Structure 1
Amino acid sequence: CKADCDTCFTRNFCTKCKSGFYLYSGKCLEKCPEGLGANNHTMECSSIVHCEASEWSPWSPCTKRGKTCGFRKGNEVRFREILQHPSATGNPCPA
């Protein structure tokens, strides 16, 4: 293994880097290449995938205790779905 590699598959292909290095394509790097995210938990470089949510649904009819009601006397709801969950380094989904 090379000096920055803790465990290697072959002399030139690392499978686990020493502390402080990120694993990417069998190599140990001090920082991840541009466009890739550094996962500080796994110490690997990976594609950055951000959360993607759908548009908000239309508002539901006003209801109160399971019955349709008039304006300002009940609740209306709307929702949106998570279309893409984020990677560890991507932007989180809205609450």
Structure 2
Amino acid sequence: MNLNLPVVIAGAGLAAMLFSCKTPQKDMGCRFEGEVVDMTGLDGCGLMIQLNDKDHSKLQVAEITDSSFHLKAGQKIRFNYTELHDRASICMAGKIVRIDCIKER
């Protein structure tokens, strides 16, 4: 069996890149605080997060990366989020977001 050494080395390098572990991102912790509020009284709205900021900004939750976490009205939470600019909603209150980190306070 005649193996071409450069091909073997290139194949091994490619396999190492494909199966290598990613460097874990530093956990920044959940840095925002808020409360889950029931906004079903507004057309197209449901449970939203009201931030503990001076404006009491509201966030529409489109996704939660932790599928085991479920929002409940009145729940006090710490979380991180990413605004989703490619989403639309008929609820006219708040930014549409993905929750990247969430825990109860």
Same fold (TM > 0.5): no
Higher relative contact order, structure no. (Cα contacts within 8 Å, ≥ 6 residues apart): 2
> Greater CA radius of gyration, 1 or 2?
1
TM-score (norm 2): 0.27
Q: Which has the higher helix share?
A: 2
